[in-house]
Chains A and B, each alone.
Chain A
Amino acid sequence: ETGVTQTPRHLVMGMTNKKSLKCEQHLGHNAMYWYKQSAKKPLELMFVYSLEERVENNSVPSRFSPECPNSSHLFLHLHTLQPEDSALYLCASSQDTAGRDKNIQYFGAGTRLSVL
């Protein structure tokens, strides 16, 4: 089983829809991350969770709402998105946000989101 699993792999939604992206990690890590990858832009960090507490929120619009019910699962709830939100959304996990291996992040395959 892969370390970090994201579902769905592809999602098409209208601007008035509500949907959720799911991420699950099987690595026993304590920290999880959401990134946005748009065409021709660097990877943008959106949210960081450590031990289920949000420790980073990079000025992300409120139409993106993260949820971390436990250290293995991370969700990104989407509502009233805009076409410019179309991108690849990547989830990652790491051992923790502190410690020797704190910043080796392991990524899922992403959800490719298209907003119509």
Chain B
Amino acid sequence: AQKVTQAQTEISVVEKEDVTLDCVYETRDTTYYLFWYKQPPSGELVFLIRRNSFDEQNEISGRYSWNFQKSTSSFNFTITASQVVDSAVYFCALSVNRDDKIIFGKGTRLHILP
């Protein structure tokens, strides 16, 4: 069975600080995809990134970076120089290649304080 754990329920940091959101996943499949989504107060989930299980290269997109480590089954997300607009709930998710489903974690609510 697949599972995604986001142990941090809620995080508050002051603007301009860096913050890392943790994600640990479980699957016995060798081919799988990992995702991060952002849910701002408006409600929609915004797709941020998808990585497949064969690509462990870290990725950077502006102030966002992702650290994928198969050895620890983790796919952590770091926001550098955080801004108030980064305040949202962030979901990590997992999908296996043979399935249509995306298994979401419970989310981490991030507060960026001015």
Interface residue count for A (Cβ, 8 Å)? 26
Q: Which of B34-82 contact A (CB under 8 A)?
A: 35, 37, 42-47, 50
Task: Assess whether B44 is in contact with A105, with CB atoms less than 8 Å apart.
Answer: no
The answer, yes or no, to whether A66 is at the interface (CB within 8 Å) is: no
The answer, yes or no, to whether B104 is at the interface (CB within 8 Å) is: yes
In the complex formed, the residue of B with least CB distance to A98 is: B100
Chain B residues closer than 8 Å to A40, beta-carbon distance: 106
Minimum CB–CB distance from B112 to chain A (whole Å) comes to: 21
CA gap between A55 and B99 in the complex, in Å = 11
Query: How many interface residues does chain B have, given as a range?
Result: 20 to 34
Which listed residue (A31, A43, A50, A106) contacts B91, Cβ 8 A?
Answer: A43
Chain B residues closer than 8 Å to A4, beta-carbon distance: 44
The answer, yes or no, to whether A56 is at the interface (CB within 8 Å) is: yes
Chain A residues closer than 8 Å to B107, beta-carbon distance: 42
CA gap between A55 and B101 in the complex, in Å = 11
Given contacts A88-B43, A107-B44, A107-B45, contact A102 B100 (CB under 8 A): yes
Minimum CB–CB distance from B93 to chain A (whole Å) comes to: 8
Q: Indicate the member of A41, A43, A45, A50 with the most B CB atoms within 10 Å.
A: A43
Encode contact with B along A22-64: 1 for CB under 8 Å, 0 otherwise.
0000000001000000001111010010100001100000000
Chain B residues closer than 8 Å to A112, beta-carbon distance: 43
Given contacts A109-B42, A110-B44, contact A41 B102 (CB under 8 A): no
Can you identify 6 A-B contacts, CB atoms within 8 angstroms?
A: A42-B104, A48-B101, A56-B101, A90-B43, A106-B47, A107-B45
